[in-house]
Chains A and B, each alone.
Chain A
Amino acid sequence: MSGKPKLHYFNGRGRMESIRWLLAAAGVEFEECFLETKDDLMKLQKDGSLLFQQVPMVEIDGMKMVQTRAILNYIAAKYNLYGKDLKERALIDMYVEAVTDLNELLMTHLIQPADKKEQHFATIVDKVTNRYFPVYEKVLKDHGQDFLVGNQFSRADVQLLETLLMTEECKPDILAKFPLLKSFKARISNIPTIKKFLQPGSQRKPPLQEKDVPKLMKIFH
């Protein structure tokens, strides 16, 4: 069952966005099937396509893969974006897991109750500038190379770029104190496959708007 991978999710970023990024970075064309209503989700659940009744689901290489991390791991390994050995893999995993934690914080921002939003935002900014970005800035500083791990382009670079751009959407000057992350951002953005993904008309999704939240809640709750 060859053909392009097929992504099943709602028409927005959520947990599928990192998968879109990685496929795009690897130069892999993919199709998308959007869930618009609760019925769409239930249909997938009823026909046994969702191992744990959840999306994301990606049809790839004859498998109906679920679980974001499993899907990302598979794509990264298949397209040689996962380092050359166990130790590089370990470093990539550490960097990617932290960026994933940060993405979770960003993802849950819009669905915070109104009275908690400001505090939540302050927490995000604090963690970004004191816990996460300094680590990646230091990694780049210490080895002076273009990519995070093994002097070679990997999923860690893709996922970090995705997160850098998402945090900038929250706070445009967030990279002010991180010169190496700034140049990293420019450098990785210029990789041809990524440059293409960053252009209008690509399958990259826009940030979630407040007005889209009710529709989402209806599908998933």
Chain B
Amino acid sequence: MAGKPKLHYTKGRGKMESIRWLLATAGVEFEEEFIETKEDLEKLRNNGVLLFQQVPLVEIDGMKMVQTRAILSYIAAKYNLYGKDLKERAWIDMYVEGTTDLMGMIMYLPFQPADTKEKNLALIIERATTRYFPVYEKALKDHGQDYLVGNKLSWADVHLLEAILMTEECKPDILSAFPLLQAFKGRISNIPTIKKFLQPGSQRKPPADEKYIATVKKIFNI
């Protein structure tokens, strides 16, 4: 069952965006089928294609894969973006879990009660600048290499770039104290497959707007 991977999700970032980034980086073309209404989601559920009744769902290599991390790990390993041995894999996993936590905070921001938004945004900025970015800045400083792990492009680099761009959308000068991350951002953005993904017209999704948030709330009963 060859053919392009097929992504099932709403027409926005959410939990699928990291998957889009990774496939794009690996130079893998993919198709998307968008869930626009509650009925679309029900249909998928009734078809028995969602193992745990949830999306993301990615049809790939004859599998109907669910669970974001399972999908990302599979793609990373398949396309040699997961390090060369167990220890490199361990570091990649640690770094990716950190950026996942950070991006998770940003992703849930629009769904928090309105009166907590300012506080949550401040927390995101604090965590980004005192807990997460210093770690990656130091990693790059300590080994002086272009990539986070093993002197080679990996899932950790893609994920970090995604996190940097997302946090910059919250606060444009968020990298001001992190010169190596600034250089990293420039460098990784210039990798041809990633450069292409960053251009208008790609399958990269924009930040959530009011309309998208309302749609998501309706579809998922939030």
Contact = CB atoms under 8 A, between A and B. Distances in A.
Contacts of B97: 67-70
Interface string A67-79: 1111001100110
Contact of B65 (A67, A68, A90, A96): A90
A74 B93 contact: yes
Q: What range describes how many residues of B lie at the interface?
A: 20 to 34
Contact of A89 (B51, B53, B74, B96): B74
A90 B63 contact: yes
B67 to A, nearest CB: 4
Given A86-B74, A94-B66, A78 B86 contact: yes
A51 interface: yes
Contact of A73 (B61, B93, B135): B93
Given A67-B98, A90-B65, A74 B77 contact: no
Given A51-B94, A67-B97, A89 B87 contact: no
B89 A74 contact: yes
A93 B51 contact: no
Contacts of B65: 90, 94
Contacts of A28: none
B101 A93 contact: no
Contact of B51 (A77, A78, A98): A98
Interface of A: 51-53, 61, 63, 65-70, 73-74, 77-78, 86-87, 89-90, 93-94, 96-98, 101, 131-132, 135
17 contacts: A51-B98, A67-B93, A69-B93, A69-B97, A70-B94, A73-B89, A74-B86, A77-B89, A86-B78, A89-B77, A90-B65, A93-B67, A93-B69, A94-B70, A97-B67, A98-B52, A101-B52
Given A94-B65, A135-B51, 6 more contacts: A52-B132, A63-B90, A67-B97, A69-B97, A70-B90, A74-B89
By Cβ-Cβ distance, the 8 closest A-B pairs, closest first, are A70-B93, A93-B70, A67-B97, A97-B67, A70-B94, A94-B70, A74-B90, A90-B74
